[in-house]
A and B are shown apart, each in its own frame.
Chain A
Amino acid sequence: MRTQPRVERAHPGAGTYVMIAVILTVITAAEVAVFYIPALAVALVPILLTLSAGKFTLVVMFYMHLRFDSRIFTGVFVAPLLLALAVILSLIVLFKALPQTGS
């Protein structure tokens, strides 16, 4: 059965796009700053992963319009993304965290 095109929310304007770009630049600068501050070395990994995830989310939500488009697109993107993350984590645990047995 064919259905008529869904009405999607209007995409944001240039002002929003520029604001997102400024936020992305600030987060990138913060990432580099965190890398060079020895006092933050202990929490480096969680801080960087959080900042990186924030940038990733902003680009996907606003520049790729997932915030405004149908949720089906979000599902089509997020499901394999979660699978990819699961593969990365599983392999890291398998090869780095679990004890390795010699042949």
Chain B
Amino acid sequence: MTQAATYTHPATATGLDSWKVGFWTFIGSECLFFGSLISTYMVYKGESLVGPTSHEILNIPLTSISTFVLLTSSLMMVLALAAVQRGSRRGALLWLLLTAWFGSLFLGFQAFEFTQFYHEGLTPQKNLFGASFFVLTGFHGAHVTVGVIWLLTLWVLALRGRLGRADALKVEIAGLYWHFVDVVWIAIFTLVYLIQ
């Protein structure tokens, strides 16, 4: 089953919705932002003079679960968009809340991981691994936090009956942001956690 687009935007020079073009451009700039952070991490990899280092401290089973949680949240997000596009208020409320919940769960995993690392002696000041790891994953976590706040804002709009089919673009753009945060984590999980 497919859902036909229910939102039609005003005529533009490109024939495309300006909000979507603008948001894709923003996502493009975010690629460069995270690219620079990943570059820094990769360049400093293995250059720490004192421990703890990545292979001594990273918890792969825990991070695998948090990765699964974030991937699942992306599924919830597209289901939320599909619900809004077909005008299902109940569906929108359910899937938006679940997406925000799974995002919050991911943040909980990250907070637990950071706390554990702190107790094991890894801080941003400790060594190059600590500095580049906390900056990269911390900025990603900050993006997830913004996403959760955004989703909860949409959920409140849906709760008040102000998120109908005509507002599907609002959810689609929030979804683009959320999925981008997800794909950044896909890269981080591989480059930071699995390739040590």
Contact = CB atoms under 8 A, between A and B. Distances in A.
**Which secondary structure dominates where chain A touches chain B?**
helix
Interface in B158-196: 172, 175-176, 179-180, 182-183, 186-187, 189-191, 194-195
B50 interface: no
Interface in A35-80: 35, 44-45, 48-49, 51-52, 55-56, 59-60, 62-65, 69-70, 72-73, 76-77, 79-80
Interface stretch (B74-82, B118-126, B144-152): B74-82
Interface residues of B, number: 59
B9 to A, nearest CB: 5
Contacts of A8: 5
A18 B187 contact: no
Interface string A9-45: 0111111011011001100100110110000000011
Nearest to A21: B75
Given A6-B16, A14-B82, A64 B180 contact: yes
Interface stretch (B29-37, B109-117, B129-137): B29-37
A60 B183 contact: yes
A3 interface: yes
Contacts, number: 159
Given A24-B71, A84-B34, A52 B85 contact: no
Interface residues of A, number: 56
Nearest to B177: A64
B179 A64 contact: yes
Interface in B9-41: 9-17, 20-21, 24-25, 27-29, 31-32, 34-36, 38-39
B53 interface: no
Interface of B: 1-5, 8-17, 20-21, 24-25, 27-29, 31-32, 34-36, 38-39, 42-43, 60, 64, 67-68, 71-72, 74-75, 77-79, 81-82, 85, 172, 175-176, 179-180, 182-183, 186-187, 189-191, 194-195
Interface of A: 1-6, 8, 10-15, 17-18, 20-21, 24-25, 28, 31-32, 34-35, 44-45, 48-49, 51-52, 55-56, 59-60, 62-65, 69-70, 72-73, 76-77, 79-81, 83-85, 87-88, 91-92, 95-96
19 contacts: A2-B12, A5-B11, A5-B15, A5-B17, A13-B2, A17-B79, A20-B75, A21-B72, A25-B68, A31-B189, A34-B194, A52-B191, A72-B16, A73-B16, A83-B35, A84-B34, A84-B36, A87-B36, A92-B42
